[in-house]
Amino acid sequence: MKQIIFILSTLLLMSTAYSQQPARITRIKDGDTFVAVWKHRSYTCRLASIDAPELSQTYGYESYQALSKIVAGKKILITAHTRDLYGRVLVNAYVDGKRLDSLLIRKGYAWHYSTYSHEAMLKQCMQDAILDKAGLWHCGKDSVCPPWLFRNYNYPNKQKYCMGCN
């Protein structure tokens, strides 16, 4: 039964892939993940091209708050692509005609996830944020710990390498 539901939800997702759908965000989970409703169904979504600090990481709560503030009370447009290993729908989202991922990167609340995205515009947004010392970059490039490293570090290494500039 779970396989049938998964297949049907995947087919539904594929039918909406690459077309913008109006959506409403009902819950923010962290700086790059949220729950959205479109076509009368709720989806856990992850912004496809960014990686935001984990909630337990330095600047994680600020990233969560930034996403919450940007989308508060606004309708968004979502372009769904596929699902990740955790079953989340990978999306591009647009708020007031602007890409949500570029807003978060440019304000220093997320990294351009260059492992999975090769968009020059997002790379430039991150370079601009670093140069302006925006958000998590306020102490410089060497004081930040990317979330993909943070997730893999054990507690002593998190304490050693991921404490920010405090």
pLDDT digits (tens, 9 = 90+) for 3-19: 654 444 554 444 444 58
- The 3-state DSSP class for residue 55 equals coil
Q: Tell me which of 46, 83, 99, 106 is the catalytic residue.
A: 46
Q: How many residues does the chain have?
A: 166
Task: Say which CATH class 2-161 falls into.
Answer: mainly beta
Cα 82 to Cα 70: distance, rounded to the nearest angstrom = 24
- Give the predicted TM-score (pTM) of the model: 0.85
Q: Tell me which of 88, 99, 106, 119 is the catalytic residue.
A: 88
Active-site residue 46, yes or no? Answer: yes
Active-site residue 27, yes or no? Answer: no
Cα 5 to Cα 23: distance, rounded to the nearest angstrom = 22
pLDDT of res. 82: 93
How do the domains of the chain map onto residue ranges? 2-161
Q: State the pairing for strand pair 75-83/20-30.
A: antiparallel
Q: Tell me which of 27, 41, 54, 119 is the catalytic residue.
A: 54
**40-75 confidence digits (pLDDT tens):** 999 999 999 999 999 999 999 999 999 999 999 899
pLDDT of res. 9: 52
Evaluate whether 141 touches 133 at the Cβ level (below 8 Å): no
Cα 82 to Cα 97: distance, rounded to the nearest angstrom = 22
